[in-house]
Amino acid sequence: MTAFDPDRLRHEFPALDQEIHGKRLVYLDSAATSQKPRAVIGALSAYYEHDNANVHRGIHELSRRATVAFEEARGKVATWIGAAESAEIVWTRGTTEALNLVATAWGLDNVGEGDEILISALEHHSNIIPWQLLARRTGARLRYIELDEQGRLVLDDLSSLLTARTKVVAVSHVSNALGTVNPVAEIAAAAHEVGALVVVDGAQGAVHTRVDVRELGVDCYAFSGHKMCGPTGIGALWARRDLLEAMSPYQGGGEMIHIVGRQESTWAEVPHKFEAGTPNIAGAIGMGAAVDFLAEIGMDAIQAHERELMDYALGRVGEIPGIRIYGPGSLDERSAVLSFTLGDAHPHDISTILDAEGVAVRAGHHCAQLVMQHFGVSATARASFYLYNTKEDVDRLVEALGLVGSIFA
């Protein structure tokens, strides 16, 4: 692809080419899941139509082809986030499973009574609950990095939150509820001073920005295919090979073993040690195709486009009487998420009225109830943008919000 052109890009996404309630669909819910380009849908169909077979087990041609495509996709994802080798990518169902994998497989062996787990009040529930479960199982204590009035992490007292007992620090790269971009490299450096493991929820990170896990200096990075133009049900955990090798398996079954005995067994090499059972082969191939798609456009171009769009959206939405926008004021600290409330209108009512105008936004707590509690609200409405959105989409949002304003005035 040549110059970045969201109008042209939009036509690569068949689901965007439709009317909802008689109006052109304006899809502003990409933080929940992105739409899929033809290249990804085509890769899924091609796999099922020509190469469908189980991986790693068969000698026949289809199995060979499926295995090659599956492992090639792993390599693409590894390169995409700057991993040292493809063996550092473990396929998972998504970010949630990747985080549960670390909290369970690493956590149960390395966290004990009286130890501390440091997370933040900005986290998606999938980066809270696995650590709560680990704390409950081990007697460890869960501690929190708090938020300021703009929904940024308060890091002034980070050194007092990190102690010799801190075994793991788990934070998001980018908040799904507010769009806050966290300084993960800075947090990782401080956490490593006390010898803690650094786990990053990258569900909203690798989607919008170029990620190099080694530059970030983190230990684990979890992300989902469906938020970055790929299929649902597939994602990945990146961790360094030595860390993966030292970790116990997460689930037991086929594919993850080397030799099985009656009482004891030995494990396959990483990453297969963590991939029990038949994997989501089509999903992995689809995620590889999504990486190809995004790489061809270029993450820097995507990020620049989203920044321009957010600048425009913050300005236009910010002028609406009664609007309250949550999250950082500076574009440098915020990604493509616009969380807001409008007067006394319940976010569910906002979303329903916008839907009638063909504008899809999310309303609710966004799986981030601690963030809602911080701002003293039960829910917000959230418009989230991606590479295929345009200023015209923002105008449609603003127009529809005008209608909400007139109903609730």
Ligand X SMILES: Cc1ncc(COP(=O)(O)O)c(C=O)c1O
- The residues that touch ligand X, with contacts defined as CB under 6 A, are 94-96, 124, 126-127, 172, 176, 201, 203-204, 224, 235
Region of residue 366 (phi > 0: left; psi between -120 and 50: alpha; otherwise: beta)? left
**Of 120 and 224, which has the nearer Cβ to ligand X?**
224
**Of 287 and 401, which has the nearer Cβ to ligand X?**
287
**Of 223 and 405, which has the nearer Cβ to ligand X?**
223
Of 54, 2, 84, which Cα lies nearest the Cα of 271? 84
* 220 a catalytic residue: no
Catalytic residue among 46, 154, 276, 367: 367
What secondary structure does DSSP assign to 140-187, as a single string? -EEEEE-B-TTS-B--TTHHHH--TTEEEEEEESB-TTT-BBP-HHHH
How many CB atoms sit inside 10 A of residue 20's CB? 15
CB of 235 to ligand X, least distance (A): 6
Q: What is the C-alpha to C-alpha distance for residues 403 and 39, in angstroms, rounded to an integer?
A: 37
CB of 165 to ligand X, least distance (A): 26
**Of 174 and 317, which has the nearer Cβ to ligand X?**
174
**Of 94 and 249, which has the nearer Cβ to ligand X?**
94
CB of 163 to ligand X, least distance (A): 26
Q: What is the C-alpha to C-alpha distance for residues 9 and 36, in angstroms, rounded to an integer?
A: 11
CA separation, residue 257 to residues 54, 234, 267 (Å): 17, 22, 4
Q: What is the C-alpha to C-alpha distance for residues 208 and 181, in angstroms, rounded to an integer?
A: 11
How does strand 116-120 pair with strand 362-364?
A: unpaired
CB of 39 to ligand X, least distance (A): 21
How many CB atoms sit inside 10 A of residue 328's CB? 18
CB of 102 to ligand X, least distance (A): 13
What positions carry a catalytic annotation? 367
